[in-house]
Amino acid sequence: MIYYKKDTDHIVTLTLDMAGRPANIINHHISKVLMPVIEHLREEKKKGMLRGVILTSAKKTFAIGGDLEYLFQEEAAGEIFELAEQLKDVFRALESPGVPVVAALNGSALGAGFELALACHHRIAVEEPRSRYGFPEAQLGLIPGGGSITRLMWLLGIEKAFPILSEGLRYNAREAIQVGLIDELASSPREMRERAKAWILATQEGRRPWDQEGAAIPGGDSRGAGVEGFLRSAVAQLASRRLHKTPGQQAILSILYEGGKVDFDTSCRLESRAFTALMRSPETQNMIKAFWFDHNYIRQGGNRPKGFGKFRPRKIGIIGAGRMGSGIAYVCLDHGMEVVLKDVSKPIAERGREYVSRRLDQMKAEGRKQAAQCDAMLKRIHTTESSADFEDCDLVIEAVFENRMVKQKVMREAEEHLDDYSIFASNTISIPITKLAEGSLRPYNYIGLHFFSPAEEVPLVEIVRGAQTSEETIARAFDFVRAIHKTPIVVKDDWGFYAARVQNTYILEGITMLAEGLSPALIENVGRQLGMPYGALALADSMGLNMVLRYENQAAEHYGAKYIQHPAVSVLRTMLEELQRPGQQKRAGFYDYTGDTAQQLWPGLADAFPQKKGAPKLSELAERFMFTQVLEAVWCMQEQVIHSVAAANLGSIYGWGFPAFKGGVIQYIHDYGAEAFVARCGELKAKYGQRFSVPSQLKEIIAKD
């Protein structure tokens, strides 16, 4: 597991190589293995036979985290606390053998893996494009468990440490240098080792700032007026971004505040207590379920058709140089692919290149990309007005506006130049893929790839299976989405697909509350306080009320005689037909707009939909919002619109912003309690109608999770 090698300068290289694993992880086993090694190093130091230590890895990465599955299953709080304390003891021992210790990072170091690196006195990384460094724990509702909050506070100061820890970002090597996580870069593993040895030979003693008499936290501790003001501002920012509902960020802020008043070891003990509490909290358990277990299920191909070799796309054609097409182009370029970007004329297509160039300029200004990287990306984009340039593309994606005839026209023009193995994909949001494929030369190679706006930021893509789409095409589309580092969910070619269909229930419920005489401001605030990114009425305006109604009309067509009209439909028709307020695009909807910005709720709502007296029960409004989404997601699973709990959960969080701390729509039922959920549905159905009916397979579906 750990290889020990000493050179003639008395510098020891410890190489991590966990047996039976593709990558090193930092778990309870490594604590037992490292401690005897560190004790031996101390003995060597006493004998004058140790000059320094280099810690590196035999894997492609350095170390990629802790044993989350083990911790997730551990129910005893005392056991979790002791494991956290044992890990801190190992890191504390590593940083204090009395000699310089260097972390030689030959690849990614994340979470507990970077905690190990941070316990070393110096960090040198090979500049490899795919390597990432940092602490993603906050995205799982957790915090680092090995003392790194306190270490970063002492190394960088409270103000610099907080965003690194709370945002959970994975930094590339250059970014890690900029924020202060890494000290040096090397161009190769050999240079990394040479630099590590040179630093040790130039450094007399390995002592950390917190072990030096008179040392202070950079920028001051949490009792200083300036830092205290920053902490108050951070609390307000968490609340405004709804991150006060995600426990990891709160805990990080609390530890920086309390830990900034006490000594290093006491602060580390506070971390262990917080880590233990978080590990057993429902919110963290929900987030781990979604972002670890569900994510890994999808990433490892849980919904990918079996029996097909891996597709490695190299050249992508994109039709439409608007906001969506240009965003897709950027993502493909950012992951090493060539792009052919087509529009009706070369000058219009060039606008897409200009969009990519502006994004790259922004990345350079933020220090997230180097000039050479940006130049290389721009060289891989070719703009055109001719479909003939798609000749050697592996995949062509159309991102033109929502018109069936236009989409079929550009499809036919492109397909004439594609070979039998190329895929054609539509980025439609509402037109059935099966209907679009009717004019295709190769309908088995035709598929839906529904990106969400902005394409370069939203991590989800819906893969829509048409009636004639082949299994191989689905597998290749899945591989493409993974190649651009997004989460693919495979959905049936049904009305609204999955994300839009379920999201629409949230919107419709808010509109129904308006019809019932509730205050529009109250409706919006309840939705936001739940953790939804937008109020229901604001989201309706953003989509356009015509689109909201179109989805409901598609539901009516789909269910036929079984369809029961949603009570929101009458409000939608009033807004569209009588009041002529179709939404944000026309700058008149439930909100008033100046340009593209919502200024305030439209004052005329009070006259159009009079408010009733009385104080509504806020908890019931909240449950209505959540239950309608959850039930529709279960209907989607029952009707085979979506095929796994993992896809349903991640699709809800990434697709329309279902609260992450609830773990997704299906996990919400587990969190609420299945029996209690079903019983509550019965009460809501009796009071509000059939939309709260429980699908017959609900218990069967959640039992499979």
Structural contact between residues 657 and 458, judged by C-beta atoms closer than 8 angstroms: no
* Residue 457, burial from CB neighbour count under 10 angstroms (0-12, 13-18, 19+): exposed
Residue 491, strand partner residues: 464, 642
Q: In which region does residue 20 sit, left (phi positive, over 0), alpha (psi from -120 to 50) or beta (all else)?
A: left
Rounded CA gap, 652 and 76, in Å?
Answer: 31
Structural contact between residues 288 and 68, judged by C-beta atoms closer than 8 angstroms: yes
Rounded CA gap, 14 and 99, in Å?
Answer: 14
**Which is catalytic among the residues 44, 95, 128, 137?**
137
Nearest CA-CA partner of 498 in 443, 547, 450, 426:
450
Rounded CA gap, 256 and 354, in Å?
Answer: 43
Structural contact between residues 390 and 416, judged by C-beta atoms closer than 8 angstroms: no
Q: What is the DSSP letter of 6?
A: E
| Cα distances (angstroms) measured from residue 487 to each of 298, 457, 482, 514, 567 | 7, 12, 7, 35, 34
Q: How far is CA 335 from the centre of its chain?
A: 17
Token pair 């609420």 in the structure block, residue: 672
- The HSE-up count of residue 226 (CA atoms within 13 Å, CB side) is 7
| Cα distances (angstroms) measured from residue 576 to each of 277, 313, 447, 557, 580 | 50, 44, 33, 20, 5
Token pair 């090193």 in the structure block, residue: 24
By three-state DSSP, how is residue 624 classified? Answer: helix
Question: What single-letter amino acid sits at 420?
Answer: D
**Which is catalytic among the residues 44, 85, 95, 115?**
115
Total Cβ atoms within 10 A of residue 189? 14
Residue 463, strand partner residues: 449, 490
Structural contact between residues 312 and 483, judged by C-beta atoms closer than 8 angstroms: yes
By three-state DSSP, how is residue 400 classified? Answer: coil
Total Cβ atoms within 10 A of residue 696? 9
Active site annotation includes 39: no
Q: How far is CA 120 from the centre of its chain?
A: 29
Q: What is the DSSP letter of 495?
A: T
Total Cβ atoms within 10 A of residue 446? 25
Task: Count the helices and strands in the chain (H runs, E runs).
Answer: 30, 18
Write out the two tokens for 65. 């985290």
Question: Greatest CA span in the chain, whole angstroms?
Answer: 90
Rounded CA gap, 681 and 675, in Å?
Answer: 10
The radius of gyration of the chain from alpha carbons, rounded to an integer in Å, stands at 28
Which are the contacts of 384, defined by CB distance < 8 A and separation ≥ 6?
340, 341, 342, 346, 349
Q: What is the enclosing helix (H) or strand (E) of 164?
A: helix 158-166
Helix axis angle, 264-279 relative to 148-156, nearest 10°? 140
Active site annotation includes 115: yes
By three-state DSSP, how is residue 632 classified? Answer: helix
User: Would you please indicate which residues are annotated as catalytic (active-site) residues?
Assistant: 115, 137
